[in-house]
Amino acid sequence: MTDAGRDAPAFPVEIDLTIEAGDWPADEELSALAHEAVMAALAEVRAKVAGGSELSIVFSDDARVQKLNAEWRGKDKPTNVLSFPAFPIEPGAVLPPLLGDIVLAAETVAREAALEEKPLRHHITHLVVHGLLHLLGYDHETDDEAEEMEALERRTLARLAIPDPYG
């Protein structure tokens, strides 16, 4: 499913949404969650938009994400979300024409939501925000980076009336 842009898009990012594998909510719900998450995150980081930008979000399964995680990160196990930036950018930079790809793993995402006793849609939204922040140049390798990124996630989710995922 692709949400095509118009001549003068009100939405600064065109989202190419694909359900590749796994047990996910309906296309329409995923599209709405993705748009809300992306808009809230862009607003929270005060993204600089010079034109349109494109983002791919792939909803897949643990097997596919495990292969990607092994190939690109050297970790032969599934994870909840992976981000693949099209270009390295610094936080606060103007959005490039292509942001990159976010890939989510169905079984891991569902298991985490159940363990944390949170609605699946809240967890999906959180992971889209988390993945997008990586594409926007944020990381959590150091304590300071993690603190900054988690604060952005909390504030972004608060914009959407989603409780603090770290609380």
- Residue 2 within a domain: no
**Nearest Cα residue to 155 out of 40, 32, 13:** 40
- Residue 52 within a domain: yes
Asked whether 81 and 125 are in contact (CB, 8 A), the reply is no
140/149 Cα distance (integer angstroms): 7
Walk along the chain (167 residues) and give the pLDDT tens digit of each residue: 434 433 434 678 999 999 999 999 999 999 999 999 999 999 999 998 888 899 999 999 999 999 999 999 999 999 999 999 999 999 989 999 999 999 999 999 999 999 999 999 999 999 999 999 999 999 988 889 999 999 999 999 999 999 999 88
**Total number of domains in the chain:** 1
- Residue 1 within a domain: no
Q: Give the bridge partners for 18, in sequence order.
A: 58
- Residue 4 within a domain: no
* pTM flag (> 0.75): yes
Q: Which domain holds residue 147?
A: 13-159
- Residue 17 within a domain: yes
* pLDDT score at 5: 37
CATH number at residue 67: 3.40.390.30
136/49 Cα distance (integer angstroms): 12
Degrees, nearest 5: CA angle 95-103-67: 130
